[in-house]
Amino acid sequence: MELKIALLKGDGIGPEIVDSAVMVLEKIAKKFGHTFIFTPYLIGGCAIDETGMPLPQETVDGCMASDSVLLGAVGGPKWDSLGGDVRPEKALLGIRSALGLYTNLRPAKLYPALRNASPLKDEIVGDGFDLLIVRELTGGIYFGERGLREGRFGTEAFDTEAYSITEIERIGKAAFEAAMKRRKSVCSIDKANVLESSRLWRKTMHELSEQYPEVHYTDMLVDNAAMQLVRDPKQFDVIVTSNMFGDILSDEASQITGSIGMLASASLGASKRGLYEPIHGSAPDIAGKDIANPIATVLSGAMMLRYSFDLNKEADAIEAAVDRVLEEGHRTADIIGTDKSRTPLGCSEMTKKILKVI
Ligand code: NAD
């Protein structure tokens, strides 16, 4: 397969971690007989420095012309004092909206080898957990009608949650399709005991579930889900939920893994083209020191292979290599914990270990 991948390295540790992921993808291409053509484009602070804008049109056009996009991270203190429209972070919303990305996939996996990193007790996490949150990204209360008005107690502010059947169906499909590539279980999370929008959400999800008889389907109220994530995260495979509930639950889920440098994410739309990125930021405090953990970005590359290109064997090979490297005891500084007997690896050393296993 010949595939075009746009690289948005961004700022801070972005260039280091994207370079690591590219090396891993190149190795996979060689091993499995593919050709990946990588083209870098500017985004974030470095784009402001070069062009005055955080998201130049050339970057948008380049991403649109690619089969998929790999992003590092944007932002840093250098650009913090700039106004809203020219801030680096503005580019993230811009590129997601330009690519029409309405599905956000956030895996939260606790590797057995990193069990100590989780704030949860051993008896809860056992030998680790592996769940995927599918969050609706472009609808709901973050995009609903809003404003100020005169109410019973004087001036009040309001935001509205609205979901159409079309929006619910398309995010639901993304969740069921993802579950088919995993352990075939979907839990839809809503607040159907209170919210009208949640009742439509639940009814639509139930109807959709009939098209996926192989998938075990359940639903759960969001308050219970927040509890269940810390009480028994192993019960979940794929969680599907609205924009706001997903925003909150995905942060909770990443916290219980205890290691921000390990977590990948994907944003997808109607086409196969997606945007893949680590969940962490540009970590300006460690930029340029070759000590960043590249694994979240390497695993974002694996997600790209799986979800945009249907290259499952290739994605498995990357994920298995990361598992193996951790099992062998290799750690970057952020995941070394309190074990003083280990020497932390740098970003390029960790990348070499992964390449060697592949
Ligand atoms: P951050 O995620 O960049 O860093 C938080 C902490 O985690 C820091 O101590 C950092 O060193 C550490 N860390 C993060 N990634 C790591 C990795 N791969 N390996 C080792 N350690 C890692 O969050 P922040 O400090 O709040 O934000 C820094 C900048 O990043 C800000 O400008 C913010 O706006 C931006 N940001 C960008 C994105 C994005 O591009 N998607 C997301 C979040 C924050």
User: Does ligand 1 lie within 6 Å of residue 140's CB atom?
Assistant: no
Does 131 share its domain with 151?
A: yes
Does 118 share its domain with 248?
A: yes
Q: Is residue 236 part of a domain?
A: yes
User: Does ligand 1 lie within 6 Å of residue 26's CB atom?
Assistant: no
Q: Looking at residue 347, what is its pLDDT?
A: 98
116 pLDDT band (50/70/90 cuts)? confident
Q: Looking at residue 2, what is its pLDDT?
A: 96
Cα 46 to averaged position of ligand 1 atoms, centre (Å): 16
Locate the ligand 1 atom nearest the alpha carbon of residue 347 and give its number.
19
Domain endpoint, select from 259, 286, 303: 259
Average pLDDT, integer, range 98-109:
94
Give the integer Cα–Cα distance in Å for 64 and 57. Answer: 11
Which one, of 218, 215, 197, 138, lies nearest residue 170 by Cα?
Answer: 138
Q: What is the DSSP string of 174-186?
A: HHHHHHHTTTSEE
Q: Looking at residue 127, what is its pLDDT?
A: 86
196 pLDDT band (50/70/90 cuts)? very high
Does 255 share its domain with 285?
A: no
| Bridge pairing between strands 264-269 and 101-110 | antiparallel
Give me the percent of the chain exceeding a pLDDT of 90: 87
Q: Is residue 11 part of a domain?
A: yes
**Whether pLDDT at 85 is above 80:** no
Q: Looking at residue 21, what is its pLDDT?
A: 98
Give the integer Cα–Cα distance in Å for 295 and 17. Answer: 8
Give me the percent of the chain exceeding a pLDDT of 70: 100
**Whether pLDDT at 1 is above 90:** no
340 pLDDT band (50/70/90 cuts)? confident
Q: Is residue 237 part of a domain?
A: yes
The catalytic site residues sit at 142, 191, 223, 247, 251
Domain endpoint, select from 207, 235, 259: 259
Interval 156-190: pLDDT, tens: 999 999 999 999 999 999 999 999 989 999 999 99
Average pLDDT, integer, range 97-104:
93
328 backbone φψ class: left, alpha, beta (φ>0; ψ -120 to 50)? alpha
User: Does ligand 1 lie within 6 Å of residue 251's CB atom?
Assistant: no
Give the integer Cα–Cα distance in Å for 66 and 290. Answer: 29
Give the integer Cα–Cα distance in Å for 358 and 341. Answer: 27
Q: Looking at residue 230, what is its pLDDT?
A: 96
When divided into structural domains, the chain yields a total of 2
**Whether pLDDT at 53 is above 80:** yes
For the record, the structure tokens of 213 come out as 């008889």
Take atom 16 of ligand 1 and give the residue whose Cα is closest: 261
Q: Is residue 268 part of a domain?
A: no
338 pLDDT band (50/70/90 cuts)? confident
User: Does ligand 1 lie within 6 Å of residue 106's CB atom?
Assistant: no
Q: Looking at residue 83, what is its pLDDT?
A: 75
Q: What is the CATH number of the domain that holds 57?
A: 3.40.718.10
CA 26 from centroid of its chain's CA atoms:
22
Q: How many CB atoms lie within 10 A of CB 227?
A: 11
Does 317 share its domain with 341?
A: yes
Cα 16 to averaged position of ligand 1 atoms, centre (Å): 14
Domain endpoint, select from 218, 236, 259: 259
| pTM (two decimals) | 0.91
Does 39 share its domain with 159?
A: no
Does 288 share its domain with 240?
A: no
Does 232 share its domain with 112?
A: yes
Interval 262-321: pLDDT, tens: 999 999 999 999 999 999 999 999 999 999 999 999 999 999 999 999 999 999 999 999
Give the integer Cα–Cα distance in Å for 106 and 95. Answer: 18
Mean pLDDT (the chain) is 95
Among 81-85, 313-317, 323-327, the least confident range: 81-85
Q: Looking at residue 226, what is its pLDDT?
A: 98
Locate the ligand 1 atom nearest the alpha carbon of residue 73 and give its number.
40
Locate the ligand 1 atom nearest the alpha carbon of residue 89 and give its number.
34
Does 300 share its domain with 358?
A: yes
CA 185 from centroid of its chain's CA atoms:
19
Cα 337 to averaged position of ligand 1 atoms, centre (Å): 18
Q: Looking at residue 106, what is its pLDDT?
A: 95
Q: Is residue 266 part of a domain?
A: no
Average pLDDT, integer, range 1-17:
97
The beta strand positions in the chain, using DSSP E, are 2-10, 35-40, 68-73, 101-110, 129-136, 146-151, 154-159, 185-190, 216-221, 238-241, 264-269, 274-278
Q: Is residue 267 part of a domain?
A: no
Does 340 share its domain with 204?
A: no
User: Does ligand 1 lie within 6 Å of residue 8's CB atom?
Assistant: no
Does 253 share its domain with 295?
A: no
Locate the ligand 1 atom nearest the alpha carbon of residue 17 and give its number.
18
**Whether pLDDT at 84 is above 80:** no
Does 37 share its domain with 93?
A: yes
CA 54 from centroid of its chain's CA atoms:
21
Reported as type and span, the H/E element at residue 255 is: helix 243-257
Residue 181 domain boundaries: 106-259
* Three-class secondary structure of residue 133 per DSSP: strand
Q: Is residue 351 part of a domain?
A: yes
User: Does ligand 1 lie within 6 Å of residue 349's CB atom?
Assistant: no
**Whether pLDDT at 122 is above 80:** yes
Cα 75 to averaged position of ligand 1 atoms, centre (Å): 9
Does 217 share its domain with 127?
A: yes
**Whether pLDDT at 339 is above 80:** no
Q: How far is CA 314 from CA 22, 120, 132, 225, 306, in A?
A: 14, 32, 19, 33, 8
Average pLDDT, integer, range 188-203:
98
Q: How many CB atoms lie within 10 A of CB 153?
A: 6
Q: Looking at residue 341, what is its pLDDT?
A: 79
Give per-residue burial for 115-140: e unless 16+ CB within 10 Å, then b: bebbebeeeebeebbbbbbbbbbbbb
Pocket-testing residue among 104, 282, 322, 348, ligand 1, by greatest number of atoms within 8 A of Cβ: 282
